[in-house]
Amino acid sequence: MSDKSKNQTEEKITNELEVLKADVFPNIKDGSLLVVTVGSEKTPATKSDMERVAQTVNEIFDGVNGISVLVIPHVVNVEKLSLPALRTIQSRVVSSWSDDEPISIDLDSLGIELGGN
């Protein structure tokens, strides 16, 4: 890669970072997000697989506040989620101290559909 091309790439990344703002939660009191990826290219996750994993996650972390778990199939690229989906995730993490907030974040709540059964 030439220096000019490298500089253009770095400038593009910097410009995109200016547009996309994100909060980092360095302290557990602000909440934590765990990402669980289900399936692989050889064995893709079905909707029932995703539901079973979400149920297991809910059972494991039952009664633990400050944790949200995003359960996604291997085909979902977290880095390419839409801004509304990212805002929903952020809101859920911030609200994770509430006893009423579910632990697992499913794809339906993010507006993402998983094909198959």
The residue whose two tokens read 């030439």 is 2
Structure tokens at 97: 């101290």
- The pLDDT value recorded for residue 77 is 76
Q: Give per-residue pLDDT as tens, 30-86.
A: 678 888 888 888 888 888 888 888 888 888 888 888 888 888 888 877 777 778 888
The residue whose two tokens read 């490298």 is 6
Q: How far is CA 110 from CA 37, 51, 72, 117, in A?
A: 16, 15, 11, 19
Mean pLDDT of all residues belonging to the chain: 75
Has residue 117 got a pLDDT over 70? no
User: Model-level pTM?
Assistant: 0.61
Structure tokens at 63: 């009664």
b/e code 24-53 from CB counts within 10 Å (16+ = b): eeeeeeebebeeeebbeeeeebbbebbeeb
Percent of the chain with pLDDT over 70: 76
